[in-house]
């Protein structure tokens, strides 16, 4: 009798991990998007949530915007490490905000388990086409030459102090050895309107946002900020062709709370990287000018650490800070 009891207990103990995993798979999981609905990050999360439902079950996308993305990301950091709550990690939340905000509710380096990078969206240096023609600026070299010959006469706009567009401009100024006055606006749309109306001379804008005005001829694209040229603008050079190593991407990926078991992370990584490779997903992302980037958890963790190290001195040099 005792032997039979021990056999049953042992069998139950061996079965527990499998049962717990199977039970977790039947529960609804969620992706926390730390920005409002309708934007590129929200859209990509919803496309992927639909694609992985056959392997992960129902995945709900939950928008938790605020504090530059910190509110939603903090929710992920403090969630149970069971794989049922994961979230978006973006260049702002995991590379810029740790230097920009005087107080952070989470530690971007320690409070998360990377799953995979999802996409990369090029930024593009654009000028008002009329301004470019008036100043005889047709290439990136022309812009740098004009700035050096006319100190303090150029300005550039962005969606706000510490925004990706602002910091791309500051990094470009450092590498090119030029000065241009930064004019912050309350969001990317007002900054683009200021460029279109000629109030500012150039912007570093998201390619998805600027593409329509580039095609219509209202904006002139001088360079993309990715390390290589973008397939969407193959005739437009990369800044890195003039300044080696220059790379300022808009990117985002998936993270889980720190302490999430490695087998759970591996399962999530496979589900989402498989989804990124699906032709329908690639086609949908192409409409957003977003390039799918599937990585291992380790590669994404290393990438985020490198991005934090890159933006630290840039934020400091810009003087931008949020109290």
Report helix, strand or coil for 126.
Answer: strand
Tens of each residue's pLDDT in the chain, 323 residues:
444 444 444 444 434 343 344 444 457 899 999 999 998 899 999 999 999 999 999 999 999 999 999 999 999 999 999 999 999 999 999 999 999 999 999 999 999 999 999 999 889 999 999 999 999 999 999 999 999 999 989 999 998 888 889 999 999 999 999 999 999 998 888 999 999 999 999 999 988 889 899 999 999 999 999 888 988 899 999 999 999 999 998 899 999 999 999 999 999 999 999 999 999 999 999 988 888 999 999 999 999 999 999 999 999 988 888 87
Beta pairing, strands 219-224 & 85-90: unpaired
Q: Among candidates 88, 77, 84, which has minimal Cα distance to 59?
A: 84
Domain boundaries, the chain: 24-120+251-318, 122-241
pLDDT of residue 11: 41
- Contact residues for 19 (Cβ-Cβ < 8 A; gap 6+): none
Q: Report phi then psi at 259, rounded to 5.
A: 95, -5
pLDDT of residue 271: 98
Contact 109, 255 (CB under 8 A): no
pLDDT of residue 321: 87
pLDDT of residue 174: 92
Tokens 């439902």 correspond to 53
Residues 275, 173: Cα–Cα separation, whole Å: 39
Token code pair at residue 73: 């990301």
Contact 295, 272 (CB under 8 A): no
- The helix (run of H) or strand (run of E) holding residue 188 is helix 188-196
Contact 207, 289 (CB under 8 A): yes
Contact 215, 226 (CB under 8 A): no
Where does residue 241 rank: exposed (0-12), middle (13-18), buried (19+ CB within 10 A)? middle
Exposure string of 137-158, with b = 16+ CB inside 10 Å and e = fewer, is beebeebbebbeeeeeebbbbb
Domain 122-241: CATH superfamily, name plus number:
Periplasmic binding protein-like II (3.40.190.10)
pTM of the shown model = 0.83
- The helix (run of H) or strand (run of E) holding residue 231 is none
Domains 24-120+251-318 and 122-241 share a fold: yes
Residue 160 carries which DSSP code? S
Contact 106, 70 (CB under 8 A): yes
CATH class of 24-120+251-318: alpha beta
Beta pairing, strands 112-128 & 29-33: unpaired
Residue 84 carries which DSSP code? S
């Amino acid at each position: 009798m005792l032997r039979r009891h021990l056999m049953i207990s042992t069998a139950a103990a061996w079965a527990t991990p499998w049962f717990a995993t199977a039970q977790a798979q039947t529960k609804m999981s969620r992706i926390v998007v730390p920005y409002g609905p309708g934007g590129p990050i929200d859209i990509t999360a919803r496309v992927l949530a639909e694609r992985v439902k056959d392997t992960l079950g129902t995945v709900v996308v939950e928008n938790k915007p605020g504090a530059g993305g910190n509110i939603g990301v903090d929710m992920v950091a403090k969630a149970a490490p069971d794989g049922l709550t994961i979230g978006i990690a973006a260049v702002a939340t995991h590379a810029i905000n740790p230097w920009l905000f005087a107080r952070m509710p989470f530690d971007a380096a320690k409070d998360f388990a990377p799953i995979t990078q999802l996409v990369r969206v090029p930024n593009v240096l654009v000028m008002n086409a009329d301004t470019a023609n008036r100043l005889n600026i047709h290439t990136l070299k022309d812009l740098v030459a004009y700035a050096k010959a006319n100190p303090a006469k150029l300005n550039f706009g962005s969606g706000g102090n510490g925004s990706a567009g602002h910091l791309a401009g500051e990094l470009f100024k450092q590498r090119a050895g030029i000065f241009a006055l930064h004019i912050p606006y309350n969001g990317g749309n007002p900054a683009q309107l200021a460029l279109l109306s000629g109030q500012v001379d150039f912007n570093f804008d998201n390619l998805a946002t600027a593409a329509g005005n580039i095609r219509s001829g209202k904006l002139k694209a001088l360079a993309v900020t990715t390390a290589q040229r973008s397939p969407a603008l193959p005739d437009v050079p990369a800044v890195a062709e003039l300044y080696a190593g220059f790379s300022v991407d808009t990117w985002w990926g998936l993270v889980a709370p720190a302490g999430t078991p490695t087998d759970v992370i591996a399962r999530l990584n496979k589900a989402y990287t498989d989804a990124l490779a699906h032709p329908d997903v690639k086609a949908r992302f192409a409409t957003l000018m977003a390039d799918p980037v599937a990585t291992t958890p380790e590669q994404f963790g290393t990438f985020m650490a490198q991005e934090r190290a890159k933006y630290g001195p840039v934020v400091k040099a810009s003087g931008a800070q949020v109290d």
